[in-house]
A and B are shown apart, each in its own frame.
Chain A
Amino acid sequence: MSELPRGQRNSAWGPGFWAGFVACAVVLALAVPILNLWVPSNSAVALPDYLVPLLGKYLCYALLALSLDLVWGYAGILSLGHGAFFALGGYCMGMYLMRQIGTRGVYGNPLLPDFMVFLNWKELPWFWWGFDHFSWAAAMIVLVPGMLALVFGWLAFRSRVTGVYLSIITQAMTYALMLAFFRNDMGFGGNNGMTDYKDILGWDLHQPSTRLGLYLVSTTALGAGYLLCRFVTISKLGRVLLALRDAESRVRFLGYSVTNAKLFVFTLSAVLAGIAGALYVPQVGIINPSEFSPGNSIEIAIWVSVGGRGTLSGAIVGAALVNLAKTWLTGAAPETWLFVLGALFVATTLVIPRGIVGLLHSARSVRPRATAPLPAGE
């Protein structure tokens, strides 16, 4: 009996994998509430309330990095516009949260958000309809980034735009969206964006318990997103993606539709990025057009390359570490941050091209790409 291809081996979903996954999930999902709620606040290990949304924000970034790793690490599509999908998901959530404010806004208008009253608008634009319902907003969080990725990807992949050209047009896409969202008459709050949210699904956003709830929802989303990405990457489709990353035309001559395979992961990835953005907005309390800035999207690629692309877990590790460093350094020495970020990218490329997780893999010499023969019957 022959060895099964990677991913269909038992180890892919075996006890070893689940033990690691559950251990990480327990740490993320249980340690934070325990340290926040039940450890006395004068204790050294107590987690103050203000840190909970910060950790939640990191989890959203981790989900965003995961979505980029799926397309970049596996299908070789370096999207430098993933921040756009994140921001669109965030705007959909922001619109819902704005409608929840109701008459508690500065102008007390039951229908129009404050910025529309300020701009002297008389009625709600059609694209705001339905956003007072959470279910509508939730559907849009998935559909808006997904549809944009589907249309954009279809045009790009059908025309066989690859490599650096694709990266450039994704940058152009997010830049164009940023300019559009900066305009007041777009109806999304212009350069101020949307803020001053009150509550989500009836829970007060300023309550520590709501924030803890959002943190737990983010943990769940990250865990589910990771399992989904893992399912895709170890499927036969995952091997098709790896194959087309390395020899695209060869995959075509085998009879696979490269366009469809890329379109599928690109759209899935955009949806994950949108969900990450939607969870991010209530935890940071604001969404504005700067989320679309090209620099943000490039930063995501840095997180992934620091953690190790094509590993999934590396994306999560990279997003967490780089953002921890950013939080610390922008407090301690803000003017150095961009230099450090640039240096980090150069150093990663030169010293650890396979990233932190890639480095750990080779240190343990369990490189998944060049497996030693497994015992028969495995």
Chain B
Amino acid sequence: MNTATAAVDTLLYLNGVTVSFDGFKALNELSLIVEEGELRTIIGPNGAGKTTMMDVVTGKTRPDAGEVFFRGTADLSRLDEAAIANLGIGRKFQRPTVFENLTVLENLELSLDDSRGTLRTLFAQLRPDRRDRIDNTLARIGLTAQRAQSAGALSHGQKQWLEIGMLLIHDRSLLLLDEPVAGLTDRETEQTAELILDLAKDRTIVVVEHDMAFVRSLGAKVTVLHEGSVLAEGSIDHVQNDPHVIEVYLGR
């Protein structure tokens, strides 16, 4: 594929990305394109490179080779985590990581897209429109009643939603969700799928997941990773019938 044409209509563009840890290739010439406004699910067995792919996009890991572009112009392999976050890329971790010693409200306050400058935060005041935004987000993730609770006291599912709310309130253009339903009950999984579908209406979302029923319920394009590169891509039915995918998932 030609870089110049890819740059125009893609939001996220990975080309030939390789990451090795002590000789082990976590990503092996991975190429992946995510279009603006798309909802994409990424599946793959353990060690397929799903989390490493997210680490590369969010600046946590630098690729040994290859290019990573956001909106065709921003070279993510040269930016640090904070700079990438400020471009509008948000990430939800595999284990829910909320700030346990802050309240639900304060977690959301820190996630607002206000100035991140150190001195600006020292003198920052919460404006009324910001407070409304927090209230709306609280309602959307269903945590209005828990707003003044410390986040550490939330249940596992509530923490997952709070973390999604923290991404949501910032109005990011690309959300990376790493196993958003890990450890959730069936009911919570269903609610999370609804929430993600709702969010996908006005932003691009990449979901990494193991749970096939959940992936099916999202009904989005699926990319299968295996040993650090793309094995198959297409609808859920297409990839589930792919002989390579069956071999990787069911053993050889």
CA distance A254 to B170 in the complex (A): 9
| Bound Cα distance A250, B210 (Å) | 23
Contact, CB under 8 Å: B110 / A235: no
Among listed A32-40, A133-141, A201-209, A240-248, interface-contacting one: A240-248
Which residues of B are found within 8 Å of A8, using beta-carbon distances?
125-126
- A6 pairs with B106, CB closer than 8 A: yes
Please name the residue on chain B nearest to A235 by beta carbon. Answer: B122
Complex interface bits, A329-353 against B, C-beta within 8 A gives 1, otherwise 0: 0000000000000000000000000
Distance (whole angstroms) from the CB of B138 to the closest CB of chain A:
8
Q: Which residues of B contact A371 (CB under 8 A)?
A: 103, 148, 150
- Cβ B85 vs Cβ A255 within 8 A: yes
Give the docked Cα–Cα distance between A2 and B248 (Å): 51
Report the minimal beta-carbon distance from B164 to chain A, rounded to whole angstroms.
14
Besides A3-B105, A3-B148, A243-B110, 11 new A-B residue pairs in contact (Cβ under 8 A), listed by A number: A1-B131, A2-B131, A5-B103, A235-B122, A243-B101, A253-B91, A255-B85, A255-B170, A264-B119, A371-B103, A373-B148
Asked if B153 and A255 sit within 8 Å, CB to CB, the answer is: no
Q: How far is the CA of A263 from the CA of B82 in the complex (A)?
A: 16
Given the known interface contacts A236-B110, A370-B153, the answer about A256 and B116 at a Cβ–Cβ threshold of 8 Å is: yes
Residue of A whose beta carbon sits closest to that of B92: A253
Q: Is A249's CB under 8 angstroms from B105's CB? A: no
- Asked if B93 is at the interface (CB within 8 A of a chain A CB), the reply is yes
Contact A253 B118 (CB under 8 A): no
- Which residues from B are CB-within-8-Å of A372? 148
User: Number of contact residues on B: which range applies?
Assistant: 35 or more
Within 8 A of B (CB), among A251-269: 251-258, 260-261, 263-264
Cβ of B230 within 8 Å of any chain A Cβ, yes or no, is no
B29 adjacent to chain A (CB < 8 Å): no
Query: Which one of A6, A236, A239, A261 has the highest number of Cβ atoms from chain B below 10 Å of its Cβ?
Result: A236
Given A252-B81, A252-B85, A237:B97 Cβ within 8 A: no
Asked if B100 and A246 sit within 8 Å, CB to CB, the answer is yes
State whether the Cβ of A29 lies closer than 8 Å to any Cβ in chain B.
no
Interface residues of B (CB under 8 A from A): 58, 60, 80-82, 85-86, 90-91, 93, 97-103, 105-106, 109-111, 116-119, 121-126, 131, 134-135, 138, 147-150, 153, 166, 170
**Is there a chain B Cβ closer than 8 Å to A4's Cβ?**
yes
Residues of chain A from 169 to 225 with CB closer than 8 A to chain B in the complex: none
Contacts of B80 in A (CB 8 A): 252
Return chain B residues, CB-CB under 8 Å to A245. 101
A369 an interface residue at 8 Å Cβ cutoff? yes
Q: How far is the CB of B89 from chain A (nearest CB, A)?
A: 9
In the complex the two chains form, is A240's CB within 8 Å of B134's CB? Answer: no
The contact string, 1 if C-beta is below 8 Å from chain B, for chain A 3-42, is 1111010000000000000000000000000000000000
Contact B148 A256 (CB under 8 A): no
Residues of A contacting B121 in the complex (Cβ-Cβ under 8 angstroms): 235-237, 240, 256, 261
For A1, A239, A247, A264, which residue has the most chain B Cβ atoms within 10 angstroms?
A239
Closest to B122 in A: A237
- Min Cβ gap B121→A in Å is 4
Q: A249-B60, A253-B90 are in contact. Are A261 and B105 (CB under 8 A)?
A: no
Residue of A nearest to B86 (CB): A255
Taken residue by residue from 362 to 378, chain A's Cβ proximity to chain B (1 for < 8 Å, 0 otherwise) reads as 00000001111110000
B101 touches A246 (CB 8 A): yes
A373 to B105 CA separation, bound complex (whole angstroms) = 11
Q: How far is the CB of A5 from chain B (nearest CB, A)?
A: 5
Contact partner, B126, options A4, A251, A256, A370, Cβ 8 Å: A4
* Interface residue A156 (Cβ < 8 Å from any Cβ of B): no
A246 touches B85 (CB 8 A): no
A-B contact pairs, 22 of them (CB 8 A): A1-B131, A2-B147, A4-B131, A5-B103, A235-B121, A235-B124, A236-B110, A237-B118, A237-B121, A237-B124, A239-B102, A240-B121, A246-B101, A249-B60, A250-B99, A252-B82, A253-B58, A253-B91, A254-B85, A255-B116, A372-B148, A373-B147
- For the complex, give the distance between the alpha carbons of A254 and B149 in Å: 21
Q: What is the CB-to-nearest-CB distance from B92 to chain A, in angstroms, rounded to a whole number?
A: 9
Given A2-B131, A236-B110, A237-B122, do A257 and B116 touch, yes or no (CB 8 Å)? yes
Nearest B residue (CB) for A4:
B126
